[in-house]
Chains A and B, each alone.
Chain A
Amino acid sequence: MKKLSARRRHPLAAVVVLLLALAATGGLYTAFAPASKAKADDSAQSLTIEEGKKLYEVGCASCHGTGGQGTTDGPSLVGVGAAAVDFQVGTGRMPAQQPGAQIPRKKVIYSQAEIDQLAAYIASLGAGPNVPTKNQYSPEGADIAKGGELFRTNCAQCHNFTGKGGALTHGKFAPDLEGVAPKHIYEAMQTGPQNMPSFPDTTLSSKNKKDIIAYLNAVNSDETQNPGGLELGGLGPVSEGLFAWIFGLGALIAVAVWVAARTAKAKKS
């Protein structure tokens, strides 16, 4: 012990202690960290990313650049997150058929597994919102009335009272929300695709998003009940006026023609 205490002031003592400390921390980490599990996860993740990268290079790179950095034809995808990919590809908007005022919804061409791979690859480029889980977007147990109020305050300006859609400038439009999966509605709010502003959780909490989804489910889906009869597109007075002219007045004029054609015959007396 005397030897050790005699050398504790040696110029290299600090270095030795540091090395020992590092070795100990590293050793402890390797001993306690869930090594095997982390390793397996890591490899699957990297495998998914690899697959996603391949898909990306075939389907997306021509517009978004080989590393997702964006080109003049498409925006950068660094930091858009998995949610954006899941929305854009999952609703068929991406890959786009042609550039235009707005990329419309169309047939989905990737399987959900492929979409997940693409999402994993894009998410690996930079941190962004994740794909929401089912209990985040499922409308069960949400406050429909609150959702309606939120929808009218935040969404109706573009999407109409019940999400039937509307026009924006220069050929752009806010689409009809009927038949859009709750997950995609959630992701759209989260990421703000195309011309839509984004409503991150700091603006519109996860619960509020759920309320909005529940409201749309109640007023603009297959289950929506229209107590008054045909909904006429739910577009308000324009379609109502058209209906009144064509089927209302049209029917009455047809009746008038019919009545006028049936004239009484003069009796000979």
Chain B
Amino acid sequence: MSTTASNTTRSRGKEPAGEKVADWVDGRLGIYSLAKANMRKIFPDHWSFMLGEVCLYSFLIIILTGVYLTLFFHPSMNEVVYHGSYVPLQGQLMSEAFNSTLHISFEVRGGLLIRQIHHWAALIFLAGMFVHMMRVFFTGAFRKPREINWMFGFLLFVLGMFTGFTGYSLPDDLLSGTGVRFMEGAILSVPIIGTYISYFLFGGEFPGHDFVARFYSIHILLLPGIMLGLVVGHLILVFYHKHTQFAGPGKTNNNVVGMPLLPVYMAKAGGFFFLVFGAITAVAAIAQINPIWAIGPYRPDQVSTGAQPDWYMGFSEGLIRTMPGWEINFAGHTLVLGVFIPLMIFPLVLVAIAVYPFLEAWVTGDRREHHILDRPRNVPTRTAFGAAWIAWYFVLLVGGGNDLWATHFHLSINAITWFVRIGFFVVPVLTFVVTKRICLGLQRRDKDKVLHGRESGIIKRLPHGEFIEVHEPLSQEQLYTLTAHHQYEPVEIGPTVDENGVERKVGGTQKLRAKLSSAYYGEDGQISKPTVEEYKEITSGHGHH
């Protein structure tokens, strides 16, 4: 009773403070209409839709911890003598960058933990983006209208790679210095302009006195700035396009079935942020990463075995480690193909996956919007391409870690290198063929399930002695889910000679497209899904099989 009374008095008297503030803000920013449009935005529920969130949150964690690190880091290559608390480096000459990183690790309160969170979060950020990108790829979420967002995501991955590279090079330790030297070597291998670019980048001879400061502004300002912009754009587009969803009863291309942003997803996403932060912090508290004190300060005359980049750059290491050391000498100039060819293949590996959506759009010629996701098995050629790309990437990672494969599996490093050289060409092809066969097999299984039901595992003996397995028919929902996908017809060039005997010119690209299309959607490209007639015939006829 008392609450009702107070409510009535309140509504007659002044409005609550929150409302006043909200009114004030709305008068200036128009938040009411914004909130009205977006607060009830629906998001579908699936764990794989949260991979992007993992990336977003780890990116935020990286920014937060990175800010803390900038408070103590000195991006300078001036030489100083170490007098800090780590005994095995006492009295050693090192750059101020290295010295301040040691200071962060050993003297700054919480410094080592923050450093480790920053680095672990970076590895997880890139791994998260990789998996997120593959989720989008295999489910076909990149199709119209989301091609631009696919490109945004791809750019974020590539920029993330370079932000990571410039970041782990900052402490100026022996490992990262070797990595920078590697990069300098790659730049030098570029014909004609290589030397000039290298001199420009390092302010003279390697290592010079500039690169840490330059990498620093690239690492903390330029690249993250661009990335932040892309992340915002990426998120705006996710809101604008609305989220995709898997096929299922009640889910169409024109709706989104799920929970509203407020309050459900706000709570979930907010909670998930802290879970991600907690998990990464736990990893950082448990496991050591990049122990620069053990690695030692960079000196160009020193190098260690097992000098690899962080995992996302590992494939470039694989390219360079397995490439034969070819060289051409021409008129007093040396063209180092052993380095230059890997440098050219490096972007190619990345671009191969980035352009795929555009290739597929061209082959299908489909201009409709797609908001329902594909099951990977229903698009065998795309799935096989993606799997082949991952296999390709993995083969190069093996090449990048060839020494550790050799020591841990008691193999010859030369044998591994040869495996990678051959595998570079063969493994993707094999993976493509095998994956496609698996997809087609799974499609056949789906078809079987639709037409004959689920195998129940119950064996029945008929009066005349025959044993049969009882098949349970699928529910209507399951039947819908298994048959909801659209199957394309291969593109036909059509008759090249019309009824009057006049030849029609068919361009090479058109022929190529027809060829690709029949590989995608011809008899070998997909298993035609069961039709209503087939289903009726079987279910109405002689019951189960």
B89 interface contact, C-beta 8 A: yes
Q: Which residue of B lies closest to A235 (CB)?
A: B306
Interface residues of B in 270-302 (CB under 8 A from A): 271-272, 275-276, 279-280, 282-291, 293-296, 299, 301-302
Interface residues on A, range: 35 or more
Check A241 against B314 for contact (C-beta < 8 Å).
yes
Contacts of B259 in A (CB 8 A): 263-264
* Distance between Cα atoms of A242 and B123 in the complex (Å): 10
Q: Which of B43-51, B183-191, B356-364, B427-435 has 4 or more CB atoms under 8 Å from chain A?
A: B43-51
Which of B282, B283, B400 has the largest number of chain A CB atoms within 10 A? B283
Query: A234 with B407: in contact, given A157-B303, A227-B105 (CB under 8 Å)?
Result: no
* Distance between Cα atoms of A39 and B302 in the complex (Å): 52
Q: Which of B175, B268, B291, B305 contacts A158 (CB 8 A)?
A: B305
Q: Which of A22-30, A91-99, A108-116, A146-154 has 4 or more CB atoms under 8 Å from chain B?
A: A146-154
Interchain Cβ contacts under 8 Å between A and B, 17 examples: A147-B88, A156-B303, A158-B305, A162-B294, A168-B413, A171-B412, A173-B407, A174-B305, A218-B87, A236-B307, A236-B308, A239-B404, A240-B310, A241-B314, A249-B128, A251-B279, A263-B45
Q: Mark A134-176, 1 if CB is under 8 A from B, else 0.
A: 0000000000111111001100111111101111111101100
Contacts of A244 in B (CB 8 A): 120, 123-124, 127, 283, 311
* Distance between Cα atoms of A199 and B282 in the complex (Å): 44
* Distance between Cα atoms of A167 and B399 in the complex (Å): 13
B174 interface contact, C-beta 8 A: yes
Check A167 against B407 for contact (C-beta < 8 Å).
yes
* Distance between Cα atoms of A149 and B410 in the complex (Å): 30
Q: Which of B264, B272, B303 contacts A255 (CB 8 A)?
A: B272
Q: Which of A158, A162, A259 contacts B275 (CB 8 A)?
A: A259
Check A238 against B301 for contact (C-beta < 8 Å).
no
Check A161 against B295 for contact (C-beta < 8 Å).
yes
Determine the main DSSP class of A at the interface with B: helix
A133 interface contact, C-beta 8 A: no
A226 interface contact, C-beta 8 A: yes
Interface residues of B in 285-340 (CB under 8 A from A): 285-291, 293-296, 299, 301-311, 314
A197 interface contact, C-beta 8 A: no
A231 interface contact, C-beta 8 A: yes
B112 interface contact, C-beta 8 A: yes
The smallest beta-carbon distance between B52 and chain A, in angstroms, is 10
Check A248 against B120 for contact (C-beta < 8 Å).
yes
Contacts of A146 in B (CB 8 A): 91
A47 interface contact, C-beta 8 A: no
Check A148 against B296 for contact (C-beta < 8 Å).
yes
Check A166 against B47 for contact (C-beta < 8 Å).
no
A232 interface contact, C-beta 8 A: yes
* Distance between Cα atoms of A242 and B312 in the complex (Å): 11
* Distance between Cα atoms of A231 and B497 in the complex (Å): 72
A-B contacts at CB below 8 angstroms, number: 210
Check B124 against A252 for contact (C-beta < 8 Å).
yes
User: Which are the 3 A-B pairs with shortest beta-carbon distances?
Assistant: A241-B311, A228-B288, A166-B305
Interface residues of A in 19-37 (CB under 8 A from B): none
Check B291 against A248 for contact (C-beta < 8 Å).
no
Binding site for A on B (CB under 8 A): 45-51, 53-54, 82, 87-92, 105-106, 112, 116, 120, 123-124, 127-128, 131, 174-175, 259, 264, 268, 271-272, 275-276, 279-280, 282-291, 293-296, 299, 301-311, 314, 400-404, 406-407, 410-414
Check B272 against A101 for contact (C-beta < 8 Å).
no
The smallest beta-carbon distance between B32 and chain A, in angstroms, is 23
A253 interface contact, C-beta 8 A: yes
Check B275 against A238 for contact (C-beta < 8 Å).
no
Contacts of A149 in B (CB 8 A): 92, 296
Contacts of A264 in B (CB 8 A): 259, 264
Query: A248 with B279: in contact, given A218-B88, A256-B51 (CB under 8 Å)?
Result: yes
Determine the main DSSP class of B at the interface with A: helix
Check A256 against B123 for contact (C-beta < 8 Å).
no
* Distance between Cα atoms of A138 and B89 in the complex (Å): 20
Q: Which of A152, A239, A247 contacts B304 (CB 8 A)?
A: A152
Q: Which of A147, A152, A158, A252 contacts B174 (CB 8 A)?
A: A152
Contacts of B54 in A (CB 8 A): 249, 252-253, 256
The smallest beta-carbon distance between B44 and chain A, in angstroms, is 10
Check B175 against A236 for contact (C-beta < 8 Å).
yes
Contacts of B282 in A (CB 8 A): 251
Check A259 against B272 for contact (C-beta < 8 Å).
yes
Contacts of A247 in B (CB 8 A): 283, 287
Check B92 against A144 for contact (C-beta < 8 Å).
no
Contacts of A18 in B (CB 8 A): none
The smallest beta-carbon distance between B287 and chain A, in angstroms, is 4
Check B272 against A248 for contact (C-beta < 8 Å).
no
* Distance between Cα atoms of A248 and B284 in the complex (Å): 9
Contacts of B275 in A (CB 8 A): 252, 255, 259
A237 interface contact, C-beta 8 A: yes
Query: A161 with B406: in contact, given A170-B414, A228-B112 (CB under 8 Å)?
Result: no
Query: A241 with B403: in contact, given A145-B91, A226-B288, A252-B279 (CB under 8 Å)?
Result: no
Check B124 against A148 for contact (C-beta < 8 Å).
no
* Distance between Cα atoms of A257 and B479 in the complex (Å): 25
Q: Which of B106, B296, B308 contacts A237 (CB 8 A)?
A: B308
The smallest beta-carbon distance between A213 and chain B, in angstroms, is 13
Check A166 against B401 for contact (C-beta < 8 Å).
no
Q: Mark A198-242, 1 if CB is under 8 A from B, else 0.
A: 000000000000000001001100000011111110111111111
Check A249 against B412 for contact (C-beta < 8 Å).
no
* Distance between Cα atoms of A261 and B50 in the complex (Å): 12
Contacts of B280 in A (CB 8 A): 248, 252
* Distance between Cα atoms of A227 and B107 in the complex (Å): 12
The smallest beta-carbon distance between B271 and chain A, in angstroms, is 7
Query: A256 with B308: in contact, given A157-B303, A249-B127 (CB under 8 Å)?
Result: no
Check A234 against B47 for contact (C-beta < 8 Å).
no
Check A171 against B411 for contact (C-beta < 8 Å).
yes
Contacts of A153 in B (CB 8 A): 299, 301-302
Check A237 against B309 for contact (C-beta < 8 Å).
yes
* Distance between Cα atoms of A74 and B421 in the complex (Å): 35
Contacts of B50 in A (CB 8 A): 256, 259-260
Contacts of B295 in A (CB 8 A): 161, 236
* Distance between Cα atoms of A162 and B302 in the complex (Å): 13
* Distance between Cα atoms of A146 and B91 in the complex (Å): 8
Q: Which residue of B lies closest to A226 (CB)?
A: B288
Query: A145 with B305: in contact, given A167-B404, A219-B294, A237-B311 (CB under 8 Å)?
Result: no
Q: Which residue of A lies closest to B86 (CB)?
A: A227
Check B47 against A261 for contact (C-beta < 8 Å).
yes
The smallest beta-carbon distance between A19 and chain B, in angstroms, is 66
Check B128 against A252 for contact (C-beta < 8 Å).
yes
Check B288 against A232 for contact (C-beta < 8 Å).
yes
Q: Which residue of A lies closest to B91 (CB)?
A: A145
Check A259 against B287 for contact (C-beta < 8 Å).
no
Check B413 against A170 for contact (C-beta < 8 Å).
yes
Q: Which residue of A lies closest to B402 (CB)?
A: A167
Which of B120, B175, B309, B311 has the largest number of chain A CB atoms within 10 A? B311
